[in-house]
Structure formats: structure tokens, C-alpha cells
Amino acid sequence: MRLGAMSAELHEQTTPEGFQALLGSVYEAATASEKWPAALRLLADRLESHVAVLASYDFESETGRIEHAFNVDERLVRLYSRRFGAANPWMRHAA
């Protein structure tokens, strides 16, 4: 799902108050990383998902990693960083 489509779906599924709470939690997490689990949980709830992740990708070194995750086994987070982060076809071809 493209970001624009996800944003439109998210907007349709939540009330203005719910959307404001989600946006507020993301802004708070951006300044205090320990708040990401709560923000990702709220995002997953709003999208009716079982998991949510915040991932990063370094285009210079062609490596990716999961920065924060909600409801994802820690072993899978480490495996992504070690093995699959560099093989992410969406990111490799985005540059």
C-alpha cells in the first residue's frame, strides 16, 4: 500500500479526535524514542493491524533496520537488520 493510500484509509477509519491523538503520539515519539511503542500500537489499532514498525534505510550503505516495532518478535527484528534490511527491493530501487 502506498503512503498516500494508507493516509487516506487511516483518515477514513478514525474520528478527528482519534486522528489528532495518533498524530500527537507520533510527534511525542519523535522527540522521546521510548514513546514509539505506544505510538505504533495506536497506529496499528487505527489501521486494524496486528503489527506496526518504524524502519529506516541508509541509501549510502544500502542497509535497513527496524528502529521500533509493536507486536513483532524481537528475533524477527534482528533478522531483518542482519539479513533482509540490505535486500529490501523497494528501498534499493527508490533512490
What separation in angstroms does the CA of 25 have from each of 20, 34, 43, 50, 62? 9, 11, 9, 18, 30
pLDDT in tens, 6-23: 566 665 656 778 888 899
Rounded Cα distance, 48 and 18, in Å: 14
**Which position has the higher pLDDT, 41 or 61?**
41
63-70 vs 52-58, strand pairing mode: antiparallel
Asked if 51 and 69 count as a contact pair (C-beta separation under 8 A), the reply is yes
Cell of 40: 505504533
Overall residue count recorded for the chain in this entry: 95
- Whole-angstrom distance, CA of residue 75 vs CA of residue 4: 30
Contact present, 38 and 29 (Cβ < 8 Å): yes
pTM over 0.85: no
Place 27 in a pLDDT band, splitting at 50, 70 and 90.
very high
